Amino acid sequence: MQKFVGTGVALVTPFNEDLSVDFDALRRLVNFNIDNGINYLVINGTTGESGTITKQEKEEIIKVIVEENKGRLPLVLGVGGNNTQIVVDELKSLDLSDIDAILSVAPYYSKPTQEGFYEHYKAISLASPKPIILYNVPGRTSKNMEPATTLRLANDFENIIAVKEAGNNQQQYLELLKNKPEDFLIISGDDDLALGVVLAGGSGVISVIGQGLPKEFSRMIQLGLEGKNKEGYEIHYKLMDIVNYIFEENNPAGIKAVLEKQGICLDKVRLPLVTATEELQTKISDFIDNL
């Protein structure tokens, strides 16, 4: 699954002043990332504010990204939730002909056991016509999917090809990397740990900051994949502050402030999220001016 090696980005959903979807800005964002070295695009993830996007908007967003992409990069679509049956039904009803893989977040709020995680993803595996990337993000779901469960799924289901691991837990990454099946991909979901994960044998990253600084971030990951740790860390240290800034208040308010600064989209987010404070916007703006 070479197409998911390198830098993927979890695209934001740009909004107009009235909070309707800004499709022109979405097209700009897609091209900005393709032109600057990103390897694949992720649609309708948490960073895309999937929780406040309607079914109709989701369909239109997919259509516009597919049109603008013109087959240039692989596309990954977020299809997940904490009602297994609804996820299964959605997989059966969606037109996935232009989608290369599904990113499915671990069930949030419900706090299932490890067996519950396994059965949830088993049902998704049996229903999905496309390869599946598991997504473990305990900071958002409130329950960690343990490495043993991830590896059990990797071994038992051929169409489960990767995990986006976002536990911000170095030990957990290493356990996955040490014990994974040979062709199973460990993808970092933590921008701050991504280079270290790649140098330890990871396949890359699904990034938030990557879409705001695609040239720099994708170059850093590429250097990591080539084992050039010194050159990679030179870029990592340059980007450390901005990675911290974008997660300081909420995601995607931070990254949208980065994108507004670059003239790609407005910084608008839908409630219950609010735009970045003036203080944070100033820090982000100064960082980009100095970069």
Task: Kindly write down the DSSP assignment for every residue of 187-243, as one continuous string.
Answer: EE--TTTHHHHHHTT--EEEESGGGTSHHHHHHHHHHHHTT-HHHHHHHHHHHHHHH
Catalytic (active site) residue 164? yes
Using alpha carbons, select from 41, 42, 101, 98 the residue that is nearest to residue 71: 98
User: From the candidates 121, 135, 173, 245, which is the catalytic residue?
Assistant: 135
Q: Which of 58, 130, 143, 164 is catalytic?
A: 164
Q: Is 47 annotated as a binding residue?
A: yes
Token couple for 51: 């929780």
Active-site residue flag, 233: no
Q: What one-letter code names the amino acid at 252?
A: P
CA–CA separation, 26 and 197 (whole Å) = 30
Q: For residues 110 and 140, is the Cβ–Cβ distance under 8 A?
A: no
Do the annotations mark residue 54 as ligand-binding? no
Q: What residue numbers does the annotated binding site cover?
A: 47, 206
Q: What residue numbers does the annotated binding site for pyruvate cover?
A: 47, 206
Active site positions, annotated: 135, 164
